[in-house]
Amino acid sequence: MNNIIVKVGLASCGVAAGAKEVYAALEQYLEDNPRPVILKKTACIGMCFEEPIVEFEGSELGSIHIGKANPETITYILEDYIAGKTPAENIILAEKISGKHNALLANQQRIVLRNCGIIDPECIEDYEAGDGYKALQKALQMERTAIIEEIKKSGLRGRGGAGFPTGLKWQFCASENSDKKYIICNADEGDPGAFMDRSTLEGDPHSVIEGMIIGAYAIGANEGYIYCRAEYPMALEHLKTAISAAEEKGYLGKNILGSSFSFDLHIKEGAGAFVCGEETALMQSIEGKRGMPTLRPPYPAVKGLWGKPTNINNVETWANIPWIIMHGAQEFRKYGTEKSPGTKVFALAGKIAGSGLIEVPMGIPLKDIIYKVGGGMKTSKPFKAVQMGGPSGGCIPAEKLDTIVDYDSITATGAIMGSGGMVVMDSGTCMVDVARFFLNFTQNESCGKCTFCRIGTKRMLEILTRITEGKGELQDIEKLEELAVNIIKGSLCGLGQTAPNPVLTTLRYFKDEYLAHIVDKHCPAGVCNALITYKINPEKCIGCTLCARKCPVSCISGQVKQVHTIDQSKCTKCGTCFQVCKFDAVTKE
Amino acid sequence: MKNTYPELDKILAKFQDKKGALIPLLQEVQKEKGYLSRETMQYLADKMKIPPAEIFGVATFYSMFRLKPQGKHLIRVCKGTACHVSNADGIKKAVMDALQLSEEENTTADMQFTVMEVACLGCCSLAPVIMIDSKTYGKLVPEAIPAVLKQYEIEDTL
């Protein structure tokens, strides 16, 4: 009988949900009860909402993924599986039988995430077993220009958000004449609500490293940096392990695989500054300075890190490279659209049932992502908007859900493709509050170099705050629009140039909500505290006294079994009564 | 007599002659000392023969560097988009209330807890999330906060 393999998903999302305890329970059980089982670690398969996830494979039942695993029952499931019995627990994915979420995965196409949640990211042999580092071997036999040609033919565009053609970028840097060139992987994933790069680095660091080695060879660089957020301790750890394993195997270092090509790769930890995701700021930060963007041109391809020609791509772009070299540009172009070939990884979050990581072919309509891949809405509240592109992006409303996912179509909505964060919002989300949230973020993160970004975002934030507090005036909308135009024009880098986008898109699609705040002093979503009144519905209140007892300012009065009332002059709008009422008698208006 | 800090000298020696080492150096110094005091920064500047303003400039630019001592436990309240739409403000308020901190303070008087807001912890599927030291707590409701914090208080009295 073949060995049964049990894999526990131990990425950040799994660990936060208790996967370590599940792993420990299995480890202890197998120590006490020897079974023909190999216990392995893997990372995130993308279904974060079902974590901790455990996969069983190797029996005639085929592969089975169990969701929401817990240390108490996982050993029973193991015994069932060994005995050839289908476990009665939460089967989320299954090869031969029906799994709860089989359909969600079937609508995906995995190139970047090809190994995530399947291999042990800390084991280079696992990566090698799935054609790992074969693309590098192939590339080393190719002419450098042929590699760049192949990437150009593939039509791969920068997955960091702006969508610049990768092959062209490489060519610019390759054609520079210099004794020293650098390549950089931008893993400073700072968009709130985005975790694609974290998952990729945690789950398959070698794919990024292999992509970088191929890129360095094609461009003629012999030193590289991975600039990763310090907020991602596991990604950093897996990268360090992966780099030293690759060095040991001769994929990194001097005379790679016996060729004349040498390449060293270093990790640089970020120190918490969103603007460092901008390429010129990132290079300043690697040099040990304040991460403030510099004027372009000169572009990094000409004068980058320490004044030398430098090529920067983001994590997902690099992870695509080995696949393209291995399978060819033509195969890559089978997915996606003419102008945006390939796939895109998205991080689904917010009010969506299937929050987690997905990879879909470009060209898929947004509504399919939300309903067919993301499993629809989390609660019965209806869909309102999807936020794409983080603080640089915008909110796409329900009537635009037919929009297909490619760089140009998303840009036409006023949002941007961005790096892949998708936060789904329902009717309980206030769009003015969302705009204020993003402006607060960009205002905090503005490096302060450009006046319009530094002060303009501050003024926009003040206006938005005023509106959410019920002190808005009609001309505020005009002021916001005027400021937006000037900030876009007057800022040096992408942070400022895109900072007004969340305001502009919400004004475009949800102007009525702004007007409700300004004219009617009413927040339709019931979010903005100053504009809410809590009331007790006399028809539903049974006089249980719970709200009166819980109210921190004692502003609710009423006798037992009689309708209670809220003294509006004392109410601090903390919402406690609304939360504790078991009879839905407290209403928010 | 001039102050000497052998522990800082050790870190300085490690980064000597490495290009672009200021940020990793400060990260390591902070790990050693808990925070970057004026005195520490002045000392490093003297030793590295660079203006103290250069160090101060870097230390104030990046959110990770702390110029004040912090509590024993660091509570990071995630304010990412997914957490924001899942009531991160309510979670923050519950944390502050439980620790009896006013809006202007971020460290408790007994130096047990420091509270900070972070942009995104990347655990959006578990929103709203807080991280205490290196442990993540997800799918929180404000009422759950006192019990979570209590664990640390009990642990500390043991």
* Angle at CA of residue B76, ends B70 and B81, nearest 5°: 150
Instruction: Assess if residue B66 is contained within a domain.
Output: no
- Verify whether the Cβ–Cβ distance A274 to B119 is below 8 Å: yes
Residue B1 — very low, low, confident or very high, per pLDDT cuts 50/70/90? very low
Beta bridge partners of A365: A404
Contacts of A390 in chain B (CB under 8 A): 81
Residue pair A387/B81 in contact (Cβ under 8 Å)? The answer is yes
Shared domain check, B98 and B56: no
Shared domain check, B153 and B83: yes
Instruction: Assess if residue B10 is contained within a domain.
Output: yes
Cβ neighbours, 10 Å, residue A261: 17
Q: Tens digit of pLDDT for each residue in B63-105?
A: 889 999 989 999 999 988 888 888 899 999 999 999 999 988 8
Q: Compute CA distances A220 → A71, A143, A147, A263, A309, whole Å.
A: 51, 12, 12, 9, 10
Q: Give the C-alpha separation, A325 to A331, whole Å.
A: 10
Shared domain check, B110 and B38: no
Specify the 3-state DSSP secondary structure of A531.
helix
Residue pair A442/A452 in contact (Cβ under 8 Å)? The answer is no
Q: Name the token pair of B41.
A: 């920064």
What's the gap in Å between the CA of B74 and the closest CA on chain A?
A: 13
Residue pair A151/A329 in contact (Cβ under 8 Å)? The answer is yes
Torsion of CA A207, A210, A211, A217, to 10 degrees: 180
Instruction: Assess if residue B67 is contained within a domain.
Output: no
Kindly state whether B21 is in contact with chain A, defined as any CB-CB distance less than 8 angstroms: yes
What pLDDT is attached to residue A89?
Answer: 83
- In 3-state terms, chain A is what percent helix, strand and coil (to 5)? 40, 15, 40
Closest residue on chain B to A429 (Cα) = B85
Instruction: Assess if residue B96 is contained within a domain.
Output: yes
Shared domain check, B97 and B41: no
Instruction: Assess if residue B114 is contained within a domain.
Output: yes
Helix orientation angle between A205-219 and A196-203, rounded to the nearest 10 degrees? 90
What pLDDT is attached to residue A215?
Answer: 98
Which residue among A193, A438, A447 places its CB closest to the CB of B82? A193
- Verify whether the Cβ–Cβ distance B62 to A350 is below 8 Å: no
Shared domain check, B91 and B25: no
Report the run of H or E that residue A21 belongs to, with start and end: helix A19-32
Shared domain check, B148 and B79: yes
Q: Which residues of A2-21 are buried (b: 16+ CB within 10 A; e: fewer)?
A: eebebbbbbbbbbbbbbbeb
Last residue of a domain, one of B19, B36, B61: B61
Shared domain check, B146 and B80: yes
Shared domain check, B129 and B100: yes
Q: What is the CATH number of the domain that holds B130?
A: 3.40.30.10
* Angle at CA of residue B151, ends B147 and B157, nearest 5°: 135
- Verify whether the Cβ–Cβ distance A421 to B81 is below 8 Å: yes
Q: Give the C-alpha separation, A523 to A434, whole Å.
A: 13
What's the gap in Å between the CA of B121 and the closest CA on chain A?
A: 7
Shared domain check, B57 and B78: no
- Verify whether the Cβ–Cβ distance B85 to A351 is below 8 Å: yes
- Verify whether the Cβ–Cβ distance B123 to A12 is below 8 Å: yes
Shared domain check, B83 and B153: yes
Last residue of a domain, one of B36, B61, B86: B61
Closest residue on chain B to A15 (Cα) = B136
* Angle at CA of residue A410, ends A495 and A102, nearest 5°: 110
Kindly state whether B98 is in contact with chain A, defined as any CB-CB distance less than 8 angstroms: no
Q: Give the C-alpha separation, A13 to B147, whole Å.
A: 22
Residue pair A406/A339 in contact (Cβ under 8 Å)? The answer is yes
Q: Tens digit of pLDDT for each residue in B35-74?
A: 999 999 999 999 999 999 999 999 999 988 999 998 999 9
Last residue of a domain, one of B14, B37, B61: B61
Q: Tens digit of pLDDT for each residue in A516-546?
A: 999 999 999 989 988 988 999 999 999 999 9
Peptide bond into A297 cis (omega under 30): yes
What's the gap in Å between the CA of A139 and the closest CA on chain B?
A: 31
- How many structural domains compose chain B? 2
Q: Name the token pair of A12.
A: 């950040």
Q: Give the C-alpha separation, A419 to A197, whole Å.
A: 9
Q: Give the C-alpha separation, A211 to A311, whole Å.
A: 13
Size of interface A-B (CB pairs under 8 A): 131
Specify the 3-state DSSP secondary structure of A202.
helix
Beta bridge partners of A404: A365
- Verify whether the Cβ–Cβ distance B134 to A269 is below 8 Å: no
What pLDDT is attached to residue A1?
Answer: 54
Residue type for A349, please? A
Specify the 3-state DSSP secondary structure of A194.
coil
What pLDDT is attached to residue A452?
Answer: 96
Residue type for A269, please? E
- Verify whether the Cβ–Cβ distance A272 to B120 is below 8 Å: no
Contacts of A231 in chain B (CB under 8 A): 118, 120-122
Which residue among A287, A349, A429 places its CB closest to the CB of B124? A349
Shared domain check, B130 and B88: yes
Instruction: Assess if residue B107 is contained within a domain.
Output: yes
Per the confidence metrics, is the pTM higher than 0.90?
yes
Instruction: Assess if residue B68 is contained within a domain.
Output: no
Q: Give the C-alpha separation, A106 to A127, whole Å.
A: 23
Which domains are seen in chain A, by residue range? 4-102 (3.40.30.10), 124-332 (3.40.50.11540), 343-426 (3.10.20.600), 431-518 (1.20.1440.230), 533-588 (3.30.70.20)
Contacts of B67 in chain A (CB under 8 A): none
Mean residue pLDDT of chain B comes to 90
Report the run of H or E that residue A347 belongs to, with start and end: strand A343-350
DSSP secondary structure string for all residues of A395-454: EEEGGGTT-B-SHHHHHHTTS---SSEEEEEETTS-HHHHHHHHHHHHHHH--S-SHIII
- Verify whether the Cβ–Cβ distance B125 to A12 is below 8 Å: no
Q: Give the C-alpha separation, A555 to A572, whole Å.
A: 9
Residue B126 domain boundaries:
73-157
Average the pLDDT over B1-26 and give the result.
Answer: 87
What ipTM does this complex have? 0.88
Q: Give the C-alpha separation, A478 to A518, whole Å.
A: 13
Q: Give the C-alpha separation, B35 to A175, whole Å.
A: 45
Specify the 3-state DSSP secondary structure of B6.
helix
Report which of B93, B91, B3, B89 is spatially closest to residue B42, judged by C-alpha positions.
B3
**Pure H helices in A83-123:** 102-106
Q: Give me the tens of pLDDT residue by residue for chain A, a chain 589 residues long.
A: 578 999 999 998 899 889 999 999 999 999 999 999 999 999 999 999 999 999 999 999 999 999 999 999 999 999 999 999 998 889 999 998 889 999 999 999 999 999 999 999 999 999 999 999 999 999 999 999 999 999 999 999 999 988 999 999 999 999 999 999 999 999 998 888 889 999 999 999 999 999 999 999 999 999 999 999 988 889 999 999 999 999 999 999 999 999 999 999 999 999 989 999 999 999 999 999 999 999 999 999 999 999 999 999 999 999 999 999 999 999 999 999 999 999 999 999 999 999 999 999 999 999 999 999 999 999 999 999 999 999 999 999 999 999 999 999 999 999 999 999 999 999 999 999 999 999 999 999 999 999 999 999 999 999 999 999 999 999 999 999 999 999 999 999 999 999 999 999 999 999 999 999 999 999 999 899 889 889 999 999 999 999 999 888 899 999 999 999 999 999 988 888 998 899 999 988 8
Shared domain check, B86 and B48: no
Kindly state whether A502 is in contact with chain B, defined as any CB-CB distance less than 8 angstroms: no
Instruction: Assess if residue B123 is contained within a domain.
Output: yes
Which are the contacts of A574, defined by CB distance < 8 A and separation ≥ 6?
A: A552, A553
First to last CA, chain A: 65
Q: Compute CA distances A276 → A81, A119, A227, A289, whole Å.
A: 48, 31, 9, 11
